[in-house]
């Protein structure tokens, strides 16, 4: 089926007389007739449900839909985008290992990697998303276990050259993990360009209504763990906590990564998405293809207006012909990128604050990527502890405003921006 049909229908096919909408299986546990039946589940001998910390039918149906949208082999939901990225990396990198990541990734991921996972003994090297192949190669070490980047970075809006990153990762015998939150599979499917693992904060466009925090991991099912068996012992040697199962042998390339992440990491860390939240997420997914188109149209119109305004010093949006990432966007995002635009207001920090105070349609929020337009001035909110010099070093200029274009009328958004610029 085409992606529009998969948005609506993939992952759940009701039988005769069964509910049309996915049932919310709001149950922690599942009943069995004999202990032997249940024992087979604990030995990973048979597929089935026993406890919703590991798996739940509602969550699995929604994961299967996202898997179909991304063209993967297997997927799992997580309680947040943070836990999705944590699991995706920690599933293959242990204490003493090393990971290479793009430097413009989401601030939450940057903290997770550079502070919290560092405390767990995993070292990260951050490289520019624009790095050459030679520069990328130079960041690798013998103990490197993954390369990580974002299709469209939040909020830097850099576009990842996925093919190049995949080529470098594979030359070093490690998978490429791509956070595809901002593009969504409607606008880019990283697996088609060589990515091995795709992650999402489903909190953003996938839910799309600002109502549920969640995440997802999709495995392409193509990375050959056994070929690099020494690098990935967690997948290629017996797991004593499951009676010696070897994931890559028992579940194959298609199933090993997600089965291990579910049966070890979800079992032990428990960052589950609730069935109720998975239900809301699925409602969002049913219209993802319709909404993304509108988000992109609105952002394009707003970006073009901003570019033409003499009150704006710069605009960053890869849909603009003059944007630094326009050529990469034409290759990877031919149908649109996302609804988020960054720009600088002439007059710096004070002017940006004044501009935002006068907006009536876009509200001031830390959130992005839902139906309601919203904006953030990082210098006075998320990055307010930094002085102007520190802001520039972090890639966030004092005048930067991040505007997430929602699903309202583009004309209303533009008129609102115009009157707020006049009012500065």
Ligand X SMILES: *Cc1c(COP(=O)(O)O)cnc(C)c1O
Should residue 274 be labelled a site residue for ligand X when binding is judged by CB under 6 A?
no
Piece in contact with ligand X (CB under 6 A), picked from 169-177, 199-207, 306-314, 330-338: 199-207
Residue 213 found at the interface with ligand X (CB under 6 A): yes
Q: Does 8 bind ligand X (CB under 6 A)?
A: no
> CB nearest ligand X: which residue?
81
Q: Which is nearer to ligand X, 208 or 234 (by Cβ)?
A: 208
Nearer to ligand X, 155 or 319 (CB): 155
The reply to whether 203 sits near ligand X by the rule CB under 6 A is: yes
Part in contact with ligand X (CB under 6 A); list of ranges 79-87, 275-283, 313-321, 401-409:
79-87
Taking CB under 6 A as the criterion, the residue among 52, 55, 73, 82 binding ligand X is 82
3-state secondary structure of 392: helix
Residue 72: DSSP 8-state: -
- State CA 298 to chain mean position distance: 22
Q: Is 98 helix (H, G, I), strand (E, B) or coil?
A: strand
241 with 268: CB under 8 angstroms? no
Query: What is the spatial distance between Cα 27 and Cα 50, in angstroms, rounded to a whole number?
Result: 10
Question: In a 3-state reduction of DSSP, which class is residue 316?
Answer: strand
Looking at the Cβ atoms of 280 and 305, the one nearer to ligand X is: 280
In angstroms, the first-to-last Cα distance of the chain is: 50
Smallest separation (angstroms) from ligand X to the CB of 402:
11
State how far the Cα of 376 lies from the Cα of 177, in Å rounded to an integer: 28
What is the spatial distance between Cα 378 and Cα 365, in angstroms, rounded to a whole number?
A: 10
Residue 247 touching ligand X (CB under 6 A): no
Any contact of residue 150 with ligand X (CB under 6 A)?
Answer: yes
Using CB under 6 A as the binding rule, whether residue 337 contacts ligand X is answered as: no
The two counts, helices (H) then strands (E), for the chain are 19, 12
Residues in CB range of 196: below 8 A, 6 or more apart: 166, 169, 175, 176, 177, 219, 220, 222, 223
372-391 positions binding ligand X, by CB under 6 A: none
Strand 197-201 to 176-179 pairing? parallel
Does 370 help bind ligand X (rule: CB under 6 A)? no
Q: Does 80 bind ligand X (CB under 6 A)?
A: yes
**Cα–Cα–Cα angle for 248, 254, 259, nearest 5°?**
65
Pairing of strands 74-78, 123-127: unpaired
Q: Per CB under 6 A, does 221 bind ligand X?
A: no
Kindly tell me which of 154 and 187 has the beta carbon lying closer to ligand X: 154
Comparison of 312 and 400: residue with beta carbon closer to ligand X: 400
Instruction: Tell me the C-alpha distance between 4 and 165, whole Å.
Output: 28
Q: Does 399 bind ligand X (CB under 6 A)?
A: no
Q: Helices 288-308 & 275-286, crossing angle to 10 degrees?
A: 70
Min separation Cβ 111 and ligand X, Å: 10
If one asks whether residue 215 binds ligand X (CB under 6 A), the answer comes out as yes
Q: Which of 12, 86, 87, 106 binds ligand X (CB under 6 A)?
A: 106
The correct pick among 81, 190, 336, 398 for binding ligand X (CB under 6 A) is: 81
CA dihedral 157, 258, 123, 236 (to 10 degrees): -140
> Dmax of the chain from CA atoms?
74
**Binder among 204, 289, 291, 294 for ligand X (CB under 6 A):** 204
How far apart, in whole angstroms, are the C-alpha atoms of residue 301 and residue 413?
9
Polymer length in residues for the chain: 424
Closest CB to ligand X among residues 1, 363? 363
CB of 146 to ligand X, least distance (A): 16
Judged by CB, which is closer to ligand X: 73, or 273? 273
- When the beta carbons of 56 and 181 are compared against ligand X, the nearer one is 181
Pick from 154, 263, 316, 337 the residue near ligand X by CB under 6 A: 154
- The residue among 177 and 407 lying less far from ligand X, judged by its C-beta, is 177
158 binds ligand X (CB under 6 A): no
Tokens of 29: 């546990």
Give the residue carrying structure tokens 């605009």. Answer: 315
Among 102, 201, 264, 316, binds ligand X (CB under 6 A): 201
* Interface residue with ligand X, options 70, 179, 323, 370 (CB under 6 A): 179
Number of residues that bind ligand X (CB under 6 A): 17
Half-sphere exposure of 390 (CA within 13 A, CB side): 7
Binding site residues, ligand X, CB under 6 A: 80-82, 85, 106, 108-109, 150, 154, 179, 181-182, 201, 203-204, 213, 215
């Amino acid at each position: 089926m085409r992606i529009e049909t998969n948005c609506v229908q993939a992952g759940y096919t009701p039988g005769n007389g069964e509910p049309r909408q996915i049932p919310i299986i709001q149950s922690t546990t599942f009943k069995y007739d004999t202990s032997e039946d249940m024992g087979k589940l604990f030995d990973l001998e048979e597929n089935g449900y026993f406890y919703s910390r590991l798996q739940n039918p509602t969550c699995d149906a929604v994961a299967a839909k996202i898997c179909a949208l991304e063209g993967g082999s297997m997927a799992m939901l997580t309680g947040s985008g943070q836990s999705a990225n944590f699991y995706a990396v920690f599933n293959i990198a242990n204490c003493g290992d090393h990971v290479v990541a793009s430097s413009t990734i989401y601030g939450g991921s940057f903290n997770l990697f550079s502070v919290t996972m560092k405390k767990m003994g995993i070292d990260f090297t951050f490289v520019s998303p624009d790095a050459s192949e030679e520069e990328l190669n130079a960041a690798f070490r013998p103990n490197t276990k993954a390369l990580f980047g974002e299709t469209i970075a939040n909020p830097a809006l850099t576009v990842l050259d996925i093919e190049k990153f995949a080529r470098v990762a594979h030359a070093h015998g490690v998978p490429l993990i791509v956070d595809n939150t901002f593009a969504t599979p409607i606008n880019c499917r990283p697996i088609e360009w060589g990515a091995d693992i795709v992650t999402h904060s489903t909190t953003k466009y996938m839910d799309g209504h600002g109502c549920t925090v969640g995440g997802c991991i999709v495995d392409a099912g193509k990375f050959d763990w056994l070929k690099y068996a020494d690098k990935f012992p967690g997948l290629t040697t017996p797991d004593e906590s499951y009676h010696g199962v070897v994931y890559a042998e028992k579940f194959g390339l298609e199933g090993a990564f997600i089965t291990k992440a579910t049966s070890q990491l979800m079992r032990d860390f428990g960052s589950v998405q609730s069935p109720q939240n998975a239900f809301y997420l699925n409602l969002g997914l049913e219209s993802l293809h319709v909404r993304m188109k509108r988000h992109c149209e609105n952002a394009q119109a707003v970006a073009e207006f901003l570019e033409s305004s003499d009150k704006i010093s710069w605009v960053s949006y890869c849909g603009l012909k003059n944007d630094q990432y326009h050529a990469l966007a034409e290759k990877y995002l031919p149908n649109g990128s996302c609804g988020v635009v960054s720009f600088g207001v002439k007059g710096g920090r004070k002017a940006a604050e004044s501009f935002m105070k006068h907006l009536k349609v876009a509200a001031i929020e830390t959130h992005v990527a839902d139906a309601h337009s919203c904006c953030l001035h990082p210098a006075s909110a998320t990055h307010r502890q930094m002085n102007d010099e520190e802001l520039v070093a972090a890639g966030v200029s004092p005048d930067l405003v991040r505007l997430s274009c929602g699903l309202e009328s583009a004309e209303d958004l533009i008129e609102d921006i115009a009157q707020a610029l006049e009012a500065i």
